[in-house]
Structure 1
Amino acid sequence: MGISGLLPLLKPIQVNRHLSEYSGQTIAVDAYVWLHRGTYACATDLATGKKTHKYVDYCMHRVRLLKHHNITPYIVFDGGPLPAKKGTESDRKKKREENLARANALTAQGKHTQAREFYVKCIDVTPQMAYQFIKALRAENVAYVVAPYEADAQMAYLERTGTVDGILTEDSDLLVFGCKSVLLKLDAVEGTVISISRADFASMVSSAGGGISLLGWSDVQFRAMAILSGCDYLASIPSVGLKTAWSLLRKHNTVENVIRVLRIEGKKNVPKGYLQAFKLAEKVFLHQRVYDPTQQRLVHLTPIPDDEQWDEEKEAHVGR
């Protein structure tokens, strides 16, 4: 979920804030993050087919917490499966099935405490569960939208168009989508969040102690670093994490140069067709389809440039 290691790397610009600081603002919320967290308390019931609404109670408690601090929540749900994430979703499904099998085996042995650990890992939030949350939102007149594909791109679009002032999530991908204000790790007891502001990227100027400098870096470079290190749309080149990707881009400027140098050096195994796959992954971050609530139609996250050659492969990748 997100870019591995990105949040720890951005630790120097993370700021603890109280929800009261966002009074009067509209904040987009990743619904499935709350739904997944809400299943922890009732994972065994869900996995064994017992009726429960504890996950909805969990989500609505947080909705009311935001409203208590005069924040307008705008809940965003994932929609249909995105072709670009087919491999990632397949891997996740396989892991859930393996965890369910282990949980059932432990339950049969009477080891219920150990079984619960695996039940938690096997739960997948279903459209039916999301609908129960939607019904609760409707009952309290809370705004929501179901994205055509991913909530991440939809929330980025809502912020970009001024519909919302910030985004509450647990996913570092939002920063790669170009979001300006990302709130993480909501503490419902203390009413606090961790804030990352894109405006603070330039303050990361020291590469001492294993850190990185983002001073002078463009959105294009930041996005390239994230994709090179591995994302939901493209596996990384073996042994290339965030710091290595940053170092390579800093030295060679463009992804094309990086790939060419790595192939010449022969120290890292660059998969065949990697550059083409990289460009497709970048298109998903740039042009994934989203819903425009004002126009009430599907649009691209950012418009496709007039000189862009748009073909069937790209169209399928970003969502029809």
Structure 2
Amino acid sequence: MGNADLRDLAAIRDVAFTEIEGSVVAVDAHNWLYRYLTTTVKWTSDEKYTTADGVEVANLIGVVQGLPKFFEHDLIPVMVFDGAVTELKADEVAERREKRERAEERRAAAAERGDAVEAARLEARTQRLTDAIQETTRELLSLLDVPIVEAPAEGEAQCAHMAATGTVDHAGSEDYDTLLFGAPTTLRQLTSKGDPELMDLAATLDDLGFDRRALVDAAMLCGTDFNEGVRGIGPKTAVKEVREHGDLWGVLDARGAQIPNAEAVRELFMNPPATDAEVDTAVNPDVDAAREYVVDEWGVAADEVTRGFERIAESQVQTGLDRWT
């Protein structure tokens, strides 16, 4: 969710990896990849991931560093990529582009005055998922036998649909949109340090005394990626007023407020574009081929990915042993 206020409403708890091992997780690939891409750019010299032709593929380092934790905990990631941008999200996309452009201007100024630390920090903010990044990420995931699903529109919506229909056990995202899109459970911080979090839709609705439509109404009052919220309404006020006035329209009427395209935004959350997908979870990574692709074909510095590939290979041996004990 563009507005993280939903965290104040959601039922979220820490969960031990032992509770979720063996699970299949539909991961919001753009959300996950962007996080590792920006981290890699911020903390790694660009010569480590830039080809002789000047193509930047920091994503390859990020993928190799991020995937091992899935495998080490016997989790099967299904990477779900965004499809077409929803028209309602056009303003959000434009705003992100403007922020990247402003960051690029500031990065250039920092580099000119010799402030390498500030330049690196701002460089991370200018990252976008280029065609090269999209293509090489998919190819690397394929070599590592990680299932890929192409969403018709929002990746979070597709993840939620797959979790709701039982195609996977959980959605996986750092955003909160999966809750609004109807994912029964969402795993967050899967590849961060420490244990992940589990966000539970049923528990959230039970705590609030809401159905999902009322939860969507409250979220829209706060603001989402698809609409501006109503001035002066935070999460607690949103819940209070939806209870008092019955639904989104009752609150808007009582306040004399409007949310443009409100019906369309609400319908998008309740019935988002998604597709049924078959997923083969018999994952068998070809680590040697993946390493050759990253290091030999794309010229990524071997020292940046060696340990990641070692962890993936080791995890496959250990997982195999565990399944026979």
1:248 and 2:246 matched: no
2:103 counterpart residue number: 99
1:197 and 2:181 matched: no
What is the one-letter code of the residue matched to 1:151? G
Write the mapping of 1:113-132 to structure 2, written as runs, cut at 5 A. Answer: 113-132=117-136
What is the one-letter code of the residue matched to 1:26? V
Contact 2:28 / 2:173 at 8 angstroms: preserved in 1?
Answer: yes
State the Cα distance separating 1:50 from its structure 2 match. 4.5
Distance of 2:89 and 2:199 partners within structure 1: 26
1:288 counterpart residue number: 272
Aligned residues: 273
Distance of 1:226 and 1:118 partners within structure 2: 31
What is the one-letter code of the residue matched to 2:203? D
1:62 and 2:66 matched: yes
Distance of 1:135 and 1:281 partners within structure 2: 34
Structure scoring higher RCO (CA < 8 A, sep ≥ 6) equals: 2
State the Cα distance separating 1:47 from its structure 2 match. 10
Alignment counterpart, residue 232 of structure 2, candidates 234, 239, 245:
239
Instruction: Name the one with the larger strand percent.
Output: 1
SS in 1 for 2:2: coil
1:17 counterpart residue number: 15
**Larger mean Cα displacement after TM superposition, 97-106 or 242-251:** 242-251
Alignment counterpart, residue 217 of structure 2, candidates 216, 224, 234:
224
TM-score, normalised to structure 1's length? 0.78
What are structure 1's unaligned runs of at least 5 residues? 205-213, 264-269, 295-320
Write the mapping of 1:73-222 to structure 2, written as runs, cut at 5 A. Answer: 73-190=77-194, 192-201=195-204, 204=207, 214=208, 216-222=209-215
State the Cα distance separating 1:261 from its structure 2 match. 1.3
Write the mapping of 1:29-48 to structure 2, written as runs, cut at 5 A. Answer: 29-39=27-37, 40-43=39-42, 45=46
What is the one-letter code of the residue matched to 2:201? R
1:311 counterpart residue number: none
State the Cα distance separating 1:41 from its structure 2 match. 1.9
1:71 and 2:69 matched: no
Deviations 1:212-240 (A, max 9, x none): xx0x2111111110111111111012222
Distance of 1:174 and 1:202 partners within structure 2: 14
Distance of 1:202 and 1:238 partners within structure 2: 24
What is the one-letter code of the residue matched to 1:182? T
State the Cα distance separating 1:168 from its structure 2 match. 1.4
SS in 2 for 1:125: coil
Identity of aligned residues (%): 25
1:301 counterpart residue number: none
Contact 1:47 / 1:119 at 8 angstroms: preserved in 2?
Answer: no
Contact 1:84 / 1:284 at 8 angstroms: preserved in 2?
Answer: no
Q: Which runs of 4+ in 1 moved over 3 A?
A: 43-54, 187-190
2:299 counterpart residue number: none
What is the one-letter code of the residue matched to 1:193? P
1:306 counterpart residue number: none
Distance of 1:90 and 1:2 partners within structure 2: 14
State the Cα distance separating 1:188 from its structure 2 match. 4.2
State the Cα distance separating 1:2 from its structure 2 match. 3.2
What are structure 2's unaligned runs of at least 5 residues? 279-325
Contact 2:50 / 2:56 at 8 angstroms: preserved in 1?
Answer: no
Contact 2:205 / 2:212 at 8 angstroms: preserved in 1?
Answer: no
Distance of 2:118 and 2:23 partners within structure 1: 43
2:308 counterpart residue number: none
Q: 1:189 to 1:242 in 2, by over 3 A?
A: closer
